[in-house]
């Protein structure tokens, strides 16, 4: 499982440009707002979801201040009923703990089975802010670079409108 340092080394190896900022641990968007960080329009809220049969898992990255409607996601993406995955599932699938969910956690998805859904909002932005597999730092990178990384891993990727 890639930790923070290994994740940053992986980005360096791929020659991905990113900006890094260390900060206190944050567990939700409200705590993140208390920290003075650059590029607030790039803040992403990352949710780890599963279907009602625990067969399909989804990592959803949406603009930080948007509300999530699981029913809408289900209807528009033709999934089974969705709910938040357990901390145990999060640890088993992505090697992460609650509060540190990030698309970069897909680096730890050995089976490449977690579906990644990206809010279309980010396609029009120069940057997206995500954790480097630890909630004590934030990295900003181009959304196109993030998508390329995840597609190259082999995870299913879908752009969704929220």
Which pLDDT tens digit goes with each residue over 49-104? 999 999 999 999 999 889 889 999 999 999 999 999 999 999 999 999 998 999 99
Query: What's the fold here for domain 4-160?
Result: YbaK protein (3.90.960)
Domain residue limits, the chain: 4-160
- pLDDT tens, position by position, 30-54: 777 788 888 989 999 999 999 999 9
Alpha helices in the chain (DSSP H): 4-13, 29-33, 70-77, 87-94, 143-153
Distance CA 39, CA 112 (A): 30
Q: Which residues are CB-contacts of 126 (< 8 A; sequence separation ≥ 6)?
A: 42, 142
For the chain, report the end-to-end CA distance as a whole number of angstroms.
31
pLDDT band at 127 (very low <50, low <70, confident <90, very high): very high
CB 108 within 8 A of CB 133: yes
Q: Kindly report the average pLDDT of the chain as a whole number.
A: 94
Please state whether the predicted TM-score (pTM) of the whole model is above 0.75.
Answer: yes
Report the DSSP beta bridge partners of residue 62.
45
């Amino acid at each position: 499982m890639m930790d923070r340092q290994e994740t940053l080394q992986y980005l360096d190896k791929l020659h991905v440009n990113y900006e890094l900022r260390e900060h206190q641990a944050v567990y939700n968007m409200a705590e993140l707002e208390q920290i003075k960080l650059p590029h607030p329009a790039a803040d992403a809220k990352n949710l780890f979801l599963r279907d009602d049969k625990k067969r399909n898992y989804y990592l959803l990255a949406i603009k930080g201040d948007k509300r999530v409607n699981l029913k809408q996601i289900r209807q528009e993406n033709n999934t089974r009923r969705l709910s938040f995955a357990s901390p145990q599932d999060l640890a088993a699938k992505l090697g992460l703990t609650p509060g540190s969910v990030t698309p970069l956690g897909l680096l730890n998805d050995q089976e490449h089975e977690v579906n990644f859904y990206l809010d279309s909002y980010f396609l029009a932005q120069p940057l997206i802010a995500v954790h480097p597999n630890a909630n004590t730092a934030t990295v900003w990178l181009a959304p196109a670079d993030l998508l390329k990384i995840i597609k190259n891993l082999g995870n299913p990727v879908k752009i969704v409108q929220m």
